[in-house]
Each structure stands twice: as structure tokens, then as C-alpha cells.
Structure 1
Amino acid sequence: MTLNMAMKPMVKKTLFIREREKGLIRVGELTPDRAVEIEDEDGFIQQLLQRMDGTQTIHQISDELQSYDIPVTEGELTELISELDSIGLLDNPASDAYGSFSSTELERYKANLNYFTSFSSLSNSPWEIQRGLNQAKITVIGVGTLGSGVLFNLAGLGVDSVRIVDFDRVELSNLNRQLLYNEEDIGRRKIDAAKDFIRRFHSRMELECIPGEISSAEDAENAIADSDLVVLSADQPHFLLERWVNQACVKHGIPFIGGGVNAAEGQLYTVVPGKTGCLDCNYLLLSRQDEDYLQFLQSYVSSGFKMPSTAIAPNYMLLTGMLCGEAVRMIARTNPVQSEGKVVSIHFETFRTEIKMDFSSPSPDCPTCGHGNGKEPIFRFFRDLEVSDNK
């Protein structure tokens, strides 16, 4: 970026700086993967870092250095500051975003802001990252096991506009893992209990509650309208719900993240319409790579088997944390979204993660995001399943 001489650069307060040996400065000792070493034989860098405390403009720093007979031109100074910024050492407290927060908000989001310094720069301050989260509009479909944890995390992150969609009521058996609710909520609609929790925890959040079940792609379209991001954290009706949400999000160009738990393994994925493939691309790949896949789906559905919940709170917290971390990366655009166009799994006993499927490249034969006609057996199966579900 081109530096403005009126800018007030500040060395990030999360960085520990020490002179490792004479003429060598080490910055970021407490975060080894981000630590850098800078040669400083004449001590000039040390003096410059001390002056960049967010109270002086670059022009003032230049004048002060000149008064100490330190021979550096404004051009050389701005070039050096740009280099220090490029290796992640500087923030800009004079950004417009900083002034948009009250003292109460700055205190509430203090740890968030400290974390965001890991990715910030003079052109993208932590306050801008936080403001982006505050202004995001996120729809969470399902506030059961995964969704209740997602809502809790979004509130902590400071997201101010959230829509939740759910039809279910709180049951005693939910309380081992759905920690948004308590014993007094048993029998209540989850959306009502969730609204009460948010009112007490993050009163600034505008929580829109939509009661009911999504039963079609049209329902999904209505649910996600005007969203910046959708989190799919429900799975009923099985196979159909995620396809309806997928179709709606692709149609309207809204990215979405989904996930779930299967015994000792959790999975999550991210679809970015126009960039990655979609869930139907993934189904198409699965059916082509595994000749037994369609037969498995058919036998699973025809058996009437219903997998009982095997979820415990610690496992879901791991998955929820991964999912909401991806949401932050998606909104803040700080680091790559690890599950973008991929199904990523985590094994809860070993903490091993792996990519189960890669649908990052859209399939031209996909009937949803490509030009396919949907005549493949896998899609005929889904159409028959939808007809059966509507009976």
C-alpha cells in the first residue's frame, strides 16, 4: 500500500521484541511460527520501533529522527515502514474502524482484536476485521447440537445480525451437548430459548427467529434471503435439506458452511458459489468414484435405520470451533478457508484431520452449478426420495 505521511503506525502490542544479540532483533518470540529476526547493527530499527507507538505520524517520526541527526529521508523511512508492515509487525490505530467503536465495545472485543493482530496490517486493521464481523448477516439453519454452539460462538465474536431457523423443542436428552439451553427450557421452542439466552449474553445482537421446518428449495431461499453467509447445522430431512440449501445458496451466490458428527468423527465443508463446486458436484464425484455409493444410500434409506445421537459436548465443541473459525476467515478474508470446496474431517480420539473429498473445481455435469441435466442415477435417487418425502 502507499503510505500516507499522516498515518500513525503502531507496533502490534501482541509482539514481544528483544535484542537477541548485538545487532540482531527478534520480534514475535511468543509465537515462534511468526517470529522474525531483523539485522540492526546501528540500532536504528530499535529506535524506529520504539517511536511507532500509534501516537506519532510518519511525518513526525521523520522530523524527530532528523533532529537526532539520524540521516534518513522520508522516502527511505516510508519504504522501511512498508517492509516492517509486510512482515506483519504494524497496525493502524487511526483507521476509520477504530473510531467507530465505543469504549465499551473496545473492552468487550479486546481479546478478539488482539487475536486479529495475527493477520492485520496498516491497510487492514484488527478494528476493520472486527467491524466486518459486527456487520455480517448470518443465517443459521438449525439450533440443535451444532447450531446452538454456532450461535453461542457468533455472539462471542460480535456478529450483530443473525437469523435462526428451527422447528424443534428442547428435550432433557439435549442438555448433554446443547449447552445454550438449561433445565428450565425443557419443552420450549429452541428458537425462543435461544432468543432469551442472546438477550442476556449479547443484547446488541438482532436475532431473527423463523419457526418451522425447511421442506423445499423455495423454503431454503426464503430462509437465506439477504445473508452474507449461511451455516447449515441441521440434517433433517436427511440428504434433502442440504441439497435444498445448496441449491438456494448457489442460485443466490451466498457461501455456506455445513457440518455434522458421525460417532467419533466430525466433518465440515464450505461451498462458495462461483468459485468452488457445490454439494451436488460432491455427490456426483462420490457416485463416480465409488460404484457402491448409490447402493449404500439406497439401502440406508430403505432400511429405515435412524442413527441415534452419539454426540458429547467436547466433541461438538471441537467441530463448532473449527466451523466458526472458518466463518471468521470467510468474513474477514484474513487467511484461506481450509474447508473451501472440501469435506474436512476430524477424528475426535486422535485429533487427526484429513480431506475426505475435494470438490473445489465445479463439475460441468453438475445440475446445480454446472450445465448437467441431472439424469445421473444419483440425482434420480434424490428426486425419488423427495417425492417419497412429500407423500
Structure 2
Amino acid sequence: MIKPKFKETIPVFFVNNEIHIGEEDGVAGVIEDPNGSIQYLISLIDGENTIETIIEKVILKYPDITAEEVQGAIQSLNEEKYLEDNAITPTLMGEYEKERYKANLNFFSLFTSLEDSKFDIQEKVMNTKIALLGVGGLGSQILYHLAALGFHNITALDFDTLELSNFNRQLLYSEENIDELKIEMAKKRISKFNPNVKLDIVNKRIECAEDVMNHIQDSEYVICVADKPTLYIQDWVNEAVVKLGKPLVSGGVLNTRGRFYSIIPGKTGCVECHKHTVIASDEKVNDQLNNMNQVNFQRNNAAISPNVAMLAGAMVNEFLGLVTGIKHPTSLGKMMELNFLTYQTYSISEWEKQEECSVCNSTSVTATS
């Protein structure tokens, strides 16, 4: 039996003959209540009474109100996502998890109604298997976010050792770890931050698409923030996720901007599709790419911690929407740009699956999300 209550993130207060629900602009609502019946109804929505009991009590005190009107009022509150079902209990989470992820649950409740469970969303997070490529500046902050959200199953790959110049943005590490492998230090730090995370690590430099496939084959989703070798890594990752049908979120820092995108093989176009689309719209792009290949360009880092944090947050929020469905990823099939100077986020290009794409057509893909 459903036992509705107002969500813990939704304040309800009374001003004269008005009921104010919520406090956020665009979310808060005001209801006129000339005879006090709505205030009485709200007092009964406390997580202890079933809907049937609430209807009975309101009609008993206000005989002129019908059961249909009470039911309609509750449904209206539910449609505004003010209510949750207090009778719902988690399937897997115990008291420890409920307390550790309490704020997560409050956030997830913002996207649920009486028919949904915020616990299911958190449990989905806890059970999802992620392959992370890169634990440098962007990757280390993403890893922290993932661990904080409660992603308990992560396999991370990197090959670099820590250098003094890393510490302006790589917050996972300490100077005492200079010359040690980032991937090993990441495992030690995350195990202390959230001991529930099963973080498997791979110390390896990616040299081909097969390396990527070996790393991601047991995962459900892939996050790529590896940036070396600069001109090849995205193609190798793209080939691997398309062949294995793994949804991908990827991005990187470009001086004063960050860029990110996401793809679902079989549903969206891939990175190669994006190239075809961009080249078709601007013939100069192909010449630029060919010239960059000839000079073997390796990007020098100009990332600072607050900018990396903004991009990491945007990417993890995109990833969270992809995994849980609480929001549609803004970057799906789009190249999004985050301007670190203006804080604006916008699409700079978008693409569909291309019929002539050699990568998409190289294998039959079944999308996993």
C-alpha cells in the first residue's frame, strides 16, 4: 500500500490562507486554501497514512469534498514530483549505504514520483560496471566523483607516473608519491575514501584498439579521458566501443575550453561518423587533420584545477544520466563545449549515424543502453 509523504528536499509551509511547497524558482508552488482543507490534507501526507486512509479522513472532516477530489489533489502533488512513497524499501542497501548515500538519495528523489524508487537508482549506480581510461587530471577527479556517487565496480587504466607538475590539478595524489604509478596511488586513495569501491587497476599504455577492447570487455559503460597518443586514442577507443557495443562518455581540456560527447553504439553515430559530418560541412578540416598527423602533435597541458573540476562534473553528470535515465544526456551524439571563462555550455556540432561509416558498418552492434 502506498504511503505518500513529501520528499525531504521539499519544504511545506503556510502563509495566511496559502500553502507554499518548495523553495526553488520554477519548482515551488503556491496553493490557495480558504477553508483549511488542503492544509489538513497535507498534514495527513506524512508517510504513515495510505492514500485510502487519507481520503477517508479528509471526507470525514470535510463532507463536501469527494473522494475523487482528494485523489486528484494527491495526484497533482505527485505529478509535480513533490511526493514519494514511504512504504518503498531498498532491495540491496542496508542502513550503512542509506546513510553514506543519503544526499544521493535525496537528489535522486527529485526525479521520482510515487511509483518510483530512489533506492533503485542508487542500487543501479552501485551495480554498474565502468571502464575508465585515464586517471590524470580529468580522470582522477572523475574517479573521485564516481566513488562519491557510489559506483562500486570500476576498472581503471593508466601508465603514467606522478610528476611535480601534476599537482596543480590532480587532487587525488600527494607530492610524497612523485615517481610512483598514478594507477596504484589512485587505488590506495579511493580505497580510503570509499572502501566499498572495487577498483581494479591496469598499468598499461594504450597502443591499439585491441588494448582498449581488452580493458572494456567486461564493463557496461566506458569513460575515456586518456589523451595519449593525441591523434590516435579517440579512434582506437571509438573502434573498441562500437565493436563491443559499449556506451561511451569522453572528453578533454582544450586550454580555455573543455569538450565532451557521448555515444551509444547502434543508436547514435560514432566518432568516425562525426568526422564524416564535420568534413562534409568544411573541406578544410580534412587538410588540417592530415597536417596535424604529419607533425605528430602532442598537446601540452594548460589545465588548472577549477577548470578541470567543472569539466569533470559535467561529464559525470552526463554519465549519471546515461546510466540511470534520470535525465537525457545533453551530449548524446553531440560535441559539447564548456567555456571556462564564461561558464556557458553549448553544442558546437552534432551528428547522426553515417551510412558510409567504416567503423559502424564493420560489425553488427546491439546497443547496451
- Report which structure shows greater RCO (CA 8 Å, sep ≥6): 2
- In the TM superposition, what is the alpha-carbon distance from 1:104 to its structure 2 partner? 2.3
Once residues 218 and 66 of structure 2 are traced to their aligned partners in structure 1, the CA distance between those partners, rounded to angstroms, is 50
Counterpart in 2 of 1:42?
A: 35
Q: Partners in 2 of 1:344 and 1:318 — Cα distance?
A: 13
1:10 aligns with 2:5: yes
- 1:46-85 matches, cutoff 5 A: 46-70=39-63, 76-85=69-78
Residue 111 in 1 paired to residue 111 in 2?
no
1:8 maps to amino acid: K
Deviates more, 1:141-150 or 1:75-84: 75-84
Partner of 1:367: 358
- 1:209 aligns to 2:204 (yes or no): no
TM-score normalised per structure 1: 0.87
Count, aligned residues: 363
Q: Map of 1:372-387 to 2, 5 A cutoff?
A: none
Deviations 1:127-183 (A, max 9, x none): 222122111111110111111111000011111111101111111111111111111
| Most deviating of 337-346 and 248-257 | 248-257
Following the alignment from structure 1 to structure 2, what is the Cα–Cα distance between the partners of residues 206 and 274?
A: 29
Displacement, 1:21? 5.3
Relative to the length of structure 2, the TM-score reads: 0.92
Deviates more, 1:146-155 or 1:61-70: 61-70
Which residue is equivalent to 1:389?
A: none
Of 267, 273, 277 in structure 2, the residue corresponding to residue 275 of structure 1 is: 267
Tell me the distance in 2 between the aligned counterparts of 1:76 and 1:274. Answer: 47
Structure 1: 5+ residue stretches without partners:
1-5, 373-391
Helix, strand or coil: the match of 2:346? Answer: strand
The CA deviation at 1:74 is 5.1
Structure 1 residue 258: Cα displacement: 0.4
2:26 aligns with 33
More displaced, 149-158 or 131-140? 131-140
Q: Return the match for 1:244 from 236, 261, 265.
A: 236
Once residues 237 and 95 of structure 2 are traced to their aligned partners in structure 1, the CA distance between those partners, rounded to angstroms, is: 39
8 Å CA contact 2:231–2:297 kept in 1: the answer is no
Q: Percent identity?
A: 35
Encode CA deviations 1:322-346: one digit per residue, 9 max, x unaligned.
0011111111211121111111101
Q: Is the 8 A contact 2:147 2:194 kept in 1?
A: yes
Contact 2:129 / 2:221 at 8 angstroms: preserved in 1? yes
Q: Which runs of 5+ in 2 are unaligned?
A: 364-369
1:350 CA displacement: 1.4
Q: Which residue of 1 aligns with 2:281?
A: 289
Q: Is 2:331 aligned against 1:339?
A: yes
What is the distance in 2 between the residues matched to 1:298 and 1:232? 24
Mapped contact 1:136–1:159 kept (Cα < 8 A)? yes
Distance in 2 of aligned mates of 1:74 and 1:220: 60
CA pair 371-163 structure 1, distance change in 2 beyond 3 A: closer
Check the 8 A contact 1:362/1:370 in 2, yes or no: no
Rounded to whole Å, the distance in 2 between the matches of 1:306 and 1:243 is 15
Take 1:252 and 1:209, find their aligned partners in 2: how far apart are those partners?
20
